Structure 1
Amino acid sequence: MFQVLSIKGTVNFLRHAVPISILSLILVIGSLTSLATKGINWGLDFTGGTVVELEFSSTADLQALRAELSSEETEGVVVQHFGSSRDVITRLPVKEGVKSETQVEQVMAAATKLDPKVIQKRVEMVGPQIGQELAEQGGLAVLVALICILIYVSFRFEWRLALGSVAALAHDVIITLGVFSLFQLDFDLTVLAGVLTVVGYSLNDTIVVFDRIRENFLKMRKGGPEEIVNTSITQTMSRTIITTGTTLVVVIALFLKGGTMIHGFATALLMGIFVGTFSSIYVASFLAVKLGINREHMMPVEIEKEGADQDPLTP
C-alpha cells in the first residue's frame, strides 16, 4: 500500500523554470558561438612551447616588453598580465632550430633591461609532439567519460529522466568551456581535470534529485508531475545546500590562495558548481516534466508467469 505524503511546505521551483531555461539556452548558444569564433586558448600542455612567468617590482609595461622581444627567436610571443599588474606571463611557440633555453634567456634579458629587480617565478617547457598526444588523450578521456555516463543513466532511469540528465551534463560542460573561450583563459591539463570533475559533480547532484523523484512518484497518491518534482527538489534542497556550500568553501580557497598552478582548475570547478546546481533543477528535472514524465512511467513492469491465464481447476 502506497504511503500518502503531504506536499505542504513545498517550494514551487518550477514556477521560474521557463525564464531560467531560456537564460540557460542563451548561455549555451553564446558559449557555442564563442567556441566557434574565438576558440579555446590552449595552454602549453597541448600546444608545446615555453612559458616564462615573471614578477616585476612595479607595474609592468607590456608594450615595452613586447618591443624588446622582437627577435626571430621570440617571434609570435604572447605577453599578458597574470593576476596582478606586476605579474607577467610570456608564451613562446616552438621554433625549429631554436632551443627553449635560448628563448628563456632572451626573455630574461629583455625583462631585466626594463626592470633590474625582475624575478623569474616559473619556467615550463613542453615539446610539440607531447602536447599533441596530451590533447588527443584529453579529448578521448572526456568522450569516454560522457559515453559511460550516457550508458549508466540509460540503464538507471526511465528514458525521460535519462535524457534530462544528459542534457544537464552537456549544458554544464558547454557553459564552462564557453567561459574559458570568452575570457581566453588558459586551458591546460588541470582545467581538463576540472571539467571532468564538473561532469561527476553535476551527475551526482542530478541522480540524487532523480532518485527522490522516482521514489515520490510511487509514494504520493495526489499531485501531478510538477507537484511531485517540486516536492522532490524541496526534500533534497537541504542536502544540495550543504554539499554545495562546503564544496564552495574549499574551491574559493583554492581559487584565491591556491597559486597559479591550480588557478584554472579552481576556476573550472567554481563555474561548474554554479551551473551544475541549477541545471539539476531547471534543465534536467524541467526537461523530464516537459517530456511528459508521469506515475505510470515509474511503475515496475509486471511479468506474466507462464500459464497464469489458465483456469487452475482445469486438469
Structure 2
Amino acid sequence: MRLKLVPLDTTIDFFAIRRVTFGASLVAMIASVLVFAIIGLNFGIDFRGGTSIRTEAQNPVEVGAYRDAVQPLGLGDVAITEVFDPNFRADQHVAMIRIQAQDGEEAVTPEVIAQVESALQNLDDTLRFTAVESVGPKVSGELIRAAIIAVTLALAAVLFYIWLRFEWQFSVGAVAALVHDIVLTIGIFSILQIRFDLAIIAALLTIVGYSLNDTVVVFDRVRENLIKYKKRPLKEVLNLSINETLSRTVMTSITTLLALLALFVLGGDVIRGFVFAMIWGVIVGTYSSVYVASAVLLMLGVTRDWSKEKDDKSGGTQFGKSEA
C-alpha cells in the first residue's frame, strides 16, 4: 500500500490569488530589509571577534555542566562544543570554548580567561587548557566579506546555470526566488535575534541548493508541457506543471522537515541555529518555487521557439506531435 499525501490528479489554481501572494512576498522582503537595517543581526563570535579556549580532560565532557559553570561570569555569547577525533586516547576528552569579545575590547582579556579557567577547574580538577586563540575585528570583517561574496557567487552561478539550461526568463524567476528566501531568512534571524555565525552562512548556501532543486523540478516540467501543449496559455501550463510535481514537492518537504525537526529538538544548542535556518528555508523555499519563481515567469512570459522545433519534423522532442 503506497502512501499518497497528495492526490495524483490535483487541479489547484495556484495563480488565482497571485497578486496577493506576490505582493505579500514583496512586503515581507521589504520588511526584512528594514528590520535588518534598524535592528541588525546578533552576530556570533565568528563575526564579532572573541577568544577560543581548547580544553582537555580525563573525564567525559559535559557541555551543559561547562555552560552552567561559565554562565555566572556574564560573558555573553559563549559557545561550547566537544571535539571528536579518532586519534584521541580513551581518556582524552577535548572541548572548544568560544567567548565573544567584550564591549570595547578586541579580544577576551587575560583576567576573563583566568576566571573561566578557575570556574571550569572547580568543575573538573583534571581539566587542562592546551590552547588559547583570539579572533580580532579585522578577521571578523574579512569573514563577513567572504560570506557575502560566497552567497553572491552562488546566486550568480545559479543565474548562469538556469540561463543555459532553460531561457533567461526562467533564470530570472529562479534567482528572484532565491533572493526572496535569503532575504526572509536574514529577516527572521534579525527579528528573533538568533545568533548569526558561519554555520548560518552554510545554512543559507544549503537553502539556495534546496530551493533551486525544487524550482528546477517545476521548471523542467514546465518546459516539457510548453512543448507538449503549444496552444495552451502560459498560466494553464504553469498550473498543470505545478500540480503534476506537487506530490513530489510535498513528500520531499515533509520528509526533510521531519529530519530537521528531530535535529532541532534533540541536536542540542550548538546546531540549533543552523537547523532553525534550514527549517525556515525549506518552508519558504517550497513556497517561493511556486509563488515567486513561477509568478515571475508568468509575468515575463516565455518564448516557445524551442531550438530544433523548426528543423525536426517531430518537433524536437517526444511530445512534438502532441497538442491540446
TM-score range, shorter chain: 0.7 to 0.9
- What does residue 157 of structure 1 align with? 166
Residues 47-103 of structure 1, C-alpha deviation per residue, up to 9 Å, x if partnerless? 21148986559xxxx9xx6xx76xxxxxxx5479xxxxxxxx974437669755531
SS in 2 for 1:10: coil
Structure 1 stretches lacking a partner, 5+ long: 1-7, 70-76, 81-88, 305-315
Counterpart mapping for 1:165-204 below 5 A:
165-204=174-213
* C-alpha spacing 1:126/1:281, structure 2 compared with 1 (3 Å): farther
Q: 2:217 aligns with which of 195, 198, 208?
A: 208
Q: State the shift of 1:155 in Å.
A: 1.5
Distance 1:216 1:101 in 2: 67
* C-alpha spacing 1:240/1:78, structure 2 compared with 1 (3 Å): same
Distance 2:77 2:146 in 1: 28
Q: 2:141 aligns with which of 132, 137, 146?
A: 132
Q: Partner letter of residue 241 of structure 1?
A: V
- What does residue 278 of structure 2 align with? 269
Distance 1:33 1:124 in 2: 38
Residues 18-47 of structure 1, C-alpha deviation per residue, up to 9 Å, x if partnerless? 211121111101100011111111110122
Q: Partner letter of residue 221 of structure 2?
A: R
Counterpart mapping for 1:1-315 below 5 A:
9-50=10-51, 55-56=67-68, 78=76, 91-93=100-102, 100=109, 102-106=111-115, 126-128=134-136, 129-293=138-302, 296-300=303-307
Q: State the shift of 1:197 in Å.
A: 0.2
Q: State the shift of 1:125 in Å.
A: 5.9
Q: Give me the TM-score of the superposition, normalised by structure 1.
A: 0.73
* C-alpha spacing 1:37/1:144, structure 2 compared with 1 (3 Å): same
Distance 2:256 2:169 in 1: 29
Largest Rg, 1 or 2: 1
Distance 2:26 2:44 in 1: 28
Distance 1:98 1:28 in 2: 35
Distance 1:273 1:105 in 2: 43
Does the CA contact (< 8 Å) of 2:177 and 2:292 recur in 1?
yes
SS in 2 for 1:13: coil
Identity of aligned residues (%): 38
Number of equivalences: 269
Distance 1:161 1:46 in 2: 35
Q: State the shift of 1:105 in Å.
A: 3.9
Aligned-residue CA RMSD (Å): 3.5
SS in 2 for 1:14: coil
Distance 1:191 1:199 in 2: 12
Residues 185-228 of structure 1, C-alpha deviation per residue, up to 9 Å, x if partnerless? 11111111000000011011101100100100110245311111
Q: Give me the TM-score of the superposition, normalised by structure 2.
A: 0.72
Residues 237-274 of structure 1, C-alpha deviation per residue, up to 9 Å, x if partnerless? 11111111111111111111111221111011011100
SS in 1 for 2:171: helix
* C-alpha spacing 1:97/1:237, structure 2 compared with 1 (3 Å): closer
